[in-house]
Structure 1
Amino acid sequence: MTSVDQPERFRAPQSPASAAESFNPDTLRLAARCWIALAVIAYVIDLLGRSRVGLTDGIRSPFGDDFINYWSGAYLALHGRAAEVYDFVAFHGFETSVVGPHIDFYHYSYPPVLLLLTAPLAIVPYVPALFVWLASTWYGFYRALKFAAGENALLLSLAAPAMFVNAIGGQNGALTAAIMGGGLLLVDRRPTMAGMLFGLLIYKPHLALMLPVAMIAGRRWRVVVAAGVTAVLLIAASMAVFGPAVWAEYQHNVSVLRTVILEDGSGVWHRMVSVFVSVRRLGGSVELSYAVQGLFALAAAFVVGRSWLRDDPAYIRYALVVVGTCLATPYLQDYDVVVGAFAVVWLKNAQQHSQISARWFDAGAAMVLALPIVAAALAKWSGLAFGPLFFIPPFILLVRLAMEYRRANPPS
């Protein structure tokens, strides 16, 4: 089921032999249901393990993991203590007062606009707030995915491995996916609403790198204006509520965290799946890693811009934005790949209109889905970061699809 009408002239159905190469849908559904059951059990075990001593594992991690950052930031902001959010020592002190002293130094790496967006979390006590956060962000993701995947959305939204990783980490991957995927689906239907959604990504701007390229190349001016206005209003509102000094503290923290987490590669490097981190783990310098990352970003921007400029079918344009973003940004963690579920749906939609073997589509979809549970394990085992290798084949497949479409539909 597709949510965007495609040009009737590009209806090149697969041959029976090619279609037979694809995985059996019933087998995939059974595997997905088994995975969901195992993921739920693993998640409950993880939560129990993080409640051994108070609301911690007694070593370094709190109940809900990174959610402690979102709830603590929202609570402090709601109670007029926003300045403490970007003070590492004060923030750690508050978090330990919530869950107990046996946790590492967690940090708030987001701009003050997220304090505004997550303020309602602080109305609810910490433990139930975790489940409100996970359920509400999942539901937004599911509702957006339903526009693309139809009746298959529920199963996919629960079975996508990135959702499990996101839940374990108490993270925001589902929220980002709902905003980006939902916005893309609304670009041609409700451009103002799409722009407003994209403007919300000011809380995580490194995952919006390809959106300006796509919208400008595609001449979606209402989207561009709505996104810009939304972002500016959010920044202005955060300054009015918390004061401009909080933004200065945030900028200071970003420079520190960029060095420690990204450039030095200490801590969670094995969860990072960007080109930059891959080059760093191969021994490249910071300068070389940024240079290689820049080349990938330029290549992604060229392909994305060209596709939107030529108005390729929606399933190609949208998927290129998602996969191109994953190749373009230097800071990308496995939980961010929840949005990859949209790319999987659009790839499978494209399969219905292509003569390319179904095996390539299955492989591309499998790589995007498997990355969040495979990449970290491979990284820990090998000491290297393989994240980009999961994105490059689907990106090449999308380039091939765009070329196939243009051959079948030459400019008049």
Structure 2
Amino acid sequence: MTSADQSERFRAPQPQAPGTELFNPDRLRVVARCWIAVAAIGYVVDLLGRTRVGLTDGIRSPFGDDFINYWSGAYLALHGRAAEVYDFVAFHDFETLVVGPHIDLYHYSYPPVLLLLTAPLALVPYVPALLVWLASTWYGFYRALKLAAGDNALLLSLAAPAMFINAIGGQNGALTAGVLGGGLLLVDRRPTLAGVLFGLLVYKPHLALMLPVAMIAGRRWRVVMAAAVTAVLLICASTIVFGPAVWAEYQHHVSVLRTAILEDGSGVWHRMVSVFVSARRLGGGVELSYAVQGVFALAAALVVGWSWLRDDPAPIRNALVVIGTCLATPYLQDYDLVIGAFAVVWLKNAQQHSQISAHWFNAGAAMVLLLPLMAASLANVSGLAFGPLFFIPPFILLGALSMEHRRAYSTILAR
């Protein structure tokens, strides 16, 4: 019996429990459309606010915010100046030539592989390139989400709060979500393509921590092989194009950023939602915080590995990979949570075949969706980082769902 068959025979769909009217689909669609309109207006206002002095707000932020890093890195790489990308002073000087001098010290924290992947951005001037970046990465995310959510994908892809946070920051959350979510959806349908997508995550490996656990436990060897070959080819290609010295410069660059941004918690700590940062904000030292993070990562790996080893229904095991990754990685920002839209869809799909109250699924989905919108505000008000408190309940729910499925499946086999 295939995992798809298991999912179909898991449980009969349950009627909506009394009191769940708050999550009425029609009402949620109205709320989503209103939010999209408000978010669009807010985004335009934010962009206009960053044109006060040249392409900056005249204080610290450029038009498109972090997109300045992606475009500048692509431009320098395309023009044979990749070494400047990992030189803080040279990179800052170039960025001020693009948007104006009134910006903070922005930096490029990604490996040379991303320079290779984003090089085409430099073929377009900066401002239109921002629109190309946001539109193309959103579209990839939407197309992947459509495989999971069907006709609901368009509304969800636009209304997910993390998508707004990602756009405001000019960030890569939609790209990462499309690659990771799309890969998970294709694991059993097109394993080689799934592996290629996973291999692309070599540009952001800390968000792929649960993939080796899941693919090896699930014995998806074609996926593993395709991912490994893709990653190696990208690393080799970037080394050939930019030279091996750039990788050494990148390693030094990242060690500096790890200390300044993650371990010291300066700058963007309020947008961090990882276990490590939560432990640091509670007063834990660097070593203790890494130890706590390690415990959560190990627990997540055990649950994810067990689910894939037993070949749970796809919605359960895929959602566990996503939420498990959020609990396992020490570096996780609010814009990275665009991938949460997939977890929400899988949670709701799993609900259709469960005896567990719909209240729990609705609450878990709401936690994943709303965290990006609430994380920074809660952190600034309290001085603490609450991210893990939003991930732990849905992760426990998924673990309980996995056990429920196993009991139901065992009962079917015993008949």
Report how far residue 6 of structure 1 moved: 5.3
Counterpart of 1:197 in structure 2 is 197
Map Cα deviations across residues 221-258 of structure 1 (whole Å, 9 max, x no partner).
00000000000000000000000000000000110000
Q: Distance in 2 between matches of 1:184 and 1:261?
A: 30
Q: Does 1:208 align with 2:178?
A: no
Q: Distance in 2 between matches of 1:403 and 1:56?
A: 53
Q: Distance in 2 between matches of 1:345 and 1:183?
A: 15
Report how far residue 7 of structure 1 moved: 3.5
Aligned length: 410
Q: Does 1:67 align with 2:67?
A: yes
Q: Does 1:78 align with 2:48?
A: no
Counterpart of 1:362 in structure 2 is 362
Q: Distance in 1 between matches of 2:322 and 2:181?
A: 8
Counterpart of 2:405 in structure 1 is 405
Q: Does 1:293 align with 2:293?
A: yes
Counterpart of 1:235 in structure 2 is 235
Q: Give the gaps of 5 or more residues in structure 1.
A: none
Counterpart of 2:347 in structure 1 is 347
> What amino acid is aligned across from residue 45 of structure 1 in structure 2?
V
Report how far residue 14 of structure 1 moved: 1.1
Counterpart of 2:25 in structure 1 is 25
What CA RMSD, in Å, does the superposition of the two structures yield over aligned residues?
1.3
Superposition TM-score, scaled by structure 2 size: 0.97
Report how far residue 22 of structure 1 moved: 6.5
Q: Distance in 2 between matches of 1:320 and 1:181?
A: 12
Q: Distance in 1 between matches of 2:261 and 2:282?
A: 17
Q: Distance in 1 between matches of 2:85 and 2:300?
A: 35
Indicate if the aligned counterparts of 2:213 and 2:301 stay in contact, CA closer than 8 A.
Answer: yes
Indicate if the aligned counterparts of 2:300 and 2:327 stay in contact, CA closer than 8 A.
Answer: yes
Indicate if the aligned counterparts of 1:297 and 1:328 stay in contact, CA closer than 8 A.
Answer: yes
Q: Give the gaps of 5 or more residues in structure 2.
A: none
Q: Distance in 2 between matches of 1:5 and 1:143?
A: 25
Report how far residue 375 of structure 1 moved: 1.1
Q: Distance in 2 between matches of 1:19 and 1:242?
A: 59
Instruction: Report the 3-state secondary structure (helix = DSSP H, G, I; strand = E; otherwise coil) of the residue aligned with 1:409.
Output: helix
Q: Distance in 1 between matches of 2:63 and 2:235?
A: 31
Instruction: Report the 3-state secondary structure (helix = DSSP H, G, I; strand = E; otherwise coil) of the residue aligned with 2:17.
Output: helix
Counterpart of 1:258 in structure 2 is 258
Report how far residue 91 of structure 1 moved: 0.2
Counterpart of 1:41 in structure 2 is 41
> What amino acid is aligned across from residue 116 of structure 1 in structure 2?
L
Counterparts of 1:160-171 in structure 2 under 5 Å? 160-171=160-171
Counterpart of 1:107 in structure 2 is 107
Change beyond 3 A, Cα 1:14–1:127 = same
Counterparts of 1:126-141 in structure 2 under 5 Å? 126-141=126-141
Counterpart of 1:158 in structure 2 is 158
Superposition TM-score, scaled by structure 1 size: 0.98
Q: Distance in 2 between matches of 1:15 and 1:39?
A: 34
Report how far residue 13 of structure 1 moved: 1.9
Q: Does 1:382 align with 2:373?
A: no
Indicate if the aligned counterparts of 1:274 and 1:330 stay in contact, CA closer than 8 A.
Answer: yes
Change beyond 3 A, Cα 1:170–1:6 = farther
Q: Distance in 2 between matches of 1:201 and 1:273?
A: 20
Q: Distance in 2 between matches of 1:253 and 1:74?
A: 17
Report how far residue 364 of structure 1 moved: 0.3
Counterpart of 1:223 in structure 2 is 223
